[in-house]
Amino acid sequence: MTKEVLKRTEERMKGVIEATKKEFSAIRTGRANPALLDRITVECYGSNLPINQVATISAPEPRLLIIQPWDKTVLGQIEKALLKSNLGLTPTSDGSVIRLTLPQLTEERRRELVRIAKKQAEDMRVTVRNLRREANEQLKAMEKDGQISEDELKRSQDEVQKLTDRYISEIDALLSAKEKEIMEV
């Protein structure tokens, strides 16, 4: 019984780590990364589609992204979506491809991006702690119902705490790597 609670909690904590990686990949650094555009959706064919489902995105240079739509008729919609996004980048189009040039980051913008990354990391830590609380509540309910002993409850809570510590330290490691990546000139 307790193993099932621990396994489910660990799976959910792994999901938080994946979400953290995804969040961090969307934070712009000095280098062009196609993952910057993952959250942008393009209105075409009667629905909103992720940009990577209507075009090929490549980074041929460290500060340049090239977006090549598979269907030239959606070029305008892609440009509109890029302008509406909060990336602060201006697309330039030659009729067949869109170029996004990433400007050099200022020190102030780098600090702001680090602040954003820290906030996201803290949100993820809170999520991990909430998972710990849920697991502990399930374990206490099991002990109250007589399914597990008091000793087993204590052991299981210690295991949940170890999982929590491990995943929070993993989030911290991801944050410090992202901070270093942002602050590099």
Per-residue pLDDT at 42: 87
Pairing of strands 47-50, 64-69: unpaired
Strand partners, 58: 66
Per-residue pLDDT at 185: 58
Nearest to 79 by CA among 64, 96, 63, 62: 96
- AA letter at 10: E
| Token duo for residue 3 | 């193993």
Q: What tens digit of pLDDT does each residue of 98-140 get?
A: 898 887 878 888 888 899 899 999 999 999 999 999 999 999 9
pLDDT at 29 over 80: no
Q: What tens digit of pLDDT does each residue of 137-173 get?
A: 999 999 999 898 999 999 999 999 999 999 999 999 9
User: Domains in the chain, ordered, with CATH?
Assistant: 2-25+106-183 (1.10.132.20), 34-101 (3.30.1360.40)
User: pLDDT confidence of 95, banded at 50, 70, 90?
Assistant: confident
Rounded average pLDDT over 83-92: 79
User: pLDDT confidence of 44, banded at 50, 70, 90?
Assistant: confident
- b/e map of 7-27 (b: 16 or more CB within 10 Å)? eebbebbeebbeebeebbebb
Cα 117 to Cα 121: distance, rounded to the nearest angstrom: 6
Cα 135 to Cα 129: distance, rounded to the nearest angstrom: 10
Residues above pLDDT 90, as percent of the chain? 38
The values of phi and psi at residue 79, to 5°, are -60, -45
Contacts of 168 (CB under 8 A, 6+ apart): 125, 128, 129
Cα 28 to Cα 126: distance, rounded to the nearest angstrom: 23
User: pLDDT confidence of 96, banded at 50, 70, 90?
Assistant: confident
Q: What tens digit of pLDDT does each residue of 2-24 get?
A: 889 999 999 999 999 999 988 88
pLDDT at 59 over 90: no
User: pLDDT confidence of 79, banded at 50, 70, 90?
Assistant: confident
Average pLDDT of the chain is 88
Per-residue pLDDT at 91: 85
Orientation of helix 150-183 relative to helix 2-25, angle to 10°: 10
SS3 content of the chain, % helix, strand, coil (to 5): 65, 15, 20
